Structure 1
Amino acid sequence: MDTARAARAHIIWTSIALVFILIASCLTYVFMSKVHGCQAISTVNVSAIESMFSRKSFSREQWLLTARDYNTNNYLIWEDEWRGYTDLHESILDQSNVSMVIQEKGVYLVYIQINFQLHPQKDKTSTELKILVDFGFDGKKELYSAAHDTQNVSVPYHEAKLNTFLLMKMQPTSQLSVKVFPSECVNYTPRPFSSFITIVKWADNW
């Protein structure tokens, strides 16, 4: 079973690396421009990202986390897919498995993908999907909308995907958590592309 999970993790990581390289050149998402420790950007240098994935030694600041459940406040509960596969790897998660705590100062590429399994509801023809990111640093916390969509649900079973790229400047002890709506409809079933977050240190600074 460990071998299967390791293989699945490597498949996901390889796919995400390719997505970063292909999409990074047109990244225009502006995020958290007024949050201390974060800065908005308009584009990402593709050659820099290609260099990041081709270099022989990676920073230990890289994680792949899969959603396993949610708590009463609709925050996702995560599981570290890579923890235990290398002796040096330590989990980024806090004790609640809700918040990710950054250890190294730097600029990070963050990709969040949430898969929803939707069903028709009485007196409603559409369902709002939301990803909210809770960012904390130096004792302050701010909740920001990272992605939003509205899906028309007219069949008994409808699957929808919501995702977002973020480029964030973070400090040691910066904390990141993800809130989703509707949390009860998130697909938590493990598979190569279910509901997950990947975080990679891109540079020491920008």
Structure 2
Amino acid sequence: MAHDICLTGFRLAGLVLAALIVNAACLIWIYSAKPVESPSGAGGGSIHDVVKFFRSPSSNSSLFLKATAHPTNQIFTELGELEWEEEIKEMGSMFLTKNRTHIQVTVAGWYVVFVKATFKLPAGNDTMDLRLQLDFTYRERTDQFASAFDTRQLLEEGQDAPLSFFVLLRMEPENKLSVMASHRKLVDYARRPVSTFITIVRCSD
């Protein structure tokens, strides 16, 4: 089990590094193309923030959560929040809330978030629309921040359909993250290998 977790950690580290490079390049291009005014909270900042991001050392704070197959007190709608259980945690700037659906931070900063879900599709001859969505909660509202979509043709035999995305965002202690999935009842909750998970790494102040 420890060996499997170690290998997963190395793979995630590579994915996070790639995510960081791509997102940072996009931020530099966006901010250098034209000035923007950003609200406080997710994704805000200026070119000075990007420069500071590269100069500041990483806190090495990270959190790895896997989806749980035993939701608590939720109405099992087609599109709904995934619930999580903690697998790996380094340092203490992030935590899972009591309802197990939201993630908060205790330290403001830039965070890389990677989400992956695998759907176990049944046999059939129709198509099925799949959705994986990251919601960002401010004090006053909740916005969709990132998402992945796919329309799959069902086959004569069942199939696996993975969806994933990564994003670089700025979080404050009052902000929360949650993940929505559809069709939630088809999410694969396998533990070896972990098929549905979210990992968050704090990169900079």
Using the size of structure 2 for normalisation, the TM-score is 0.76
Alpha carbons of structure 1 residues 63 and 184: separation in structure 2 relative to 1, 3 Å: same
Give the equivalent residue in structure 2 for 1:63: 63
Pairwise CA distance, 1:153: 1.2
Uncovered stretches (5+) of structure 2, i.e. residues with no partner: 31-36
* Residue pair 1:133, 1:144 contacting (<8 A) in 2 also: yes
Question: What code does the residue aligned with 1:77 have?
Answer: E
- CA spacing shift, 1:107–1:145, aligned 2, 3 Å: closer
Is residue 105 of structure 2 the alignment partner of residue 102 of structure 1?
yes
Please name the residue that 1:82 is paired with.
88
Q: Aligned-pair distance for 1:23?
A: 5.0
Q: Secondary structure at the match of 1:11?
A: helix
One-letter code of the match for 1:39?
G
Change (3 A) 1:153 1:168: same
SS at match of 1:112: strand
Aligned equivalent of 1:112:
115
Which residue in the other structure is 1:189 paired with?
A: 190
Change (3 A) 1:21 1:145: closer
Q: CA deviation at 1:25?
A: 3.5
Cα gap change, 1:110 to 1:173, in 2 (>3 Å): same
Cross-structure match for 1:155: 156
CA contact (8 A) 1:11 1:192 kept: no
2:15 is the counterpart of 1:9: no
Question: Structure 1 pair 22/132, CA: closer, same or farther in 2 (3 Å)?
Answer: closer
In structure 1, what is the Cα distance between the partners aligned to 2:181 and 2:85? Answer: 16
CA shift, 1:105, in A, is 0.2
- Following superposition, the deviation at residue 131 of structure 1 comes to 1.0
In the comparison of the two structures, how many residue pairs are matched?
183
8 Å Cα contact 1:66/1:196 also seen in 2: yes
Q: More displaced, 109-118 or 19-28?
A: 19-28
When residues 153 and 40 of structure 1 are mapped into structure 2, their CA distance, relative to the original with a 3 A threshold, is farther
- Secondary structure of the 2:95 match is coil
Rounded to whole Å, the distance in 2 between the matches of 1:143 and 1:35 is 15
Unaligned 5+ residue runs, structure 1? Answer: 53-57
In structure 1, the residue matched to 2:95 is 92
Runs of 4+ in structure 1 displaced over 6 angstroms?
none
Percent identity between the aligned chains?
23
Match of 1:55 in 2: none
SS at match of 1:92: strand
What is the alpha-carbon distance in structure 1 between the residues aligned to residue 158 and residue 177 of structure 2?
32
Does the 8 Å CA contact 1:9/1:192 hold for their aligned counterparts? no
Query: Does the 8 A contact of 1:35 with 1:142 survive in 2?
Result: no
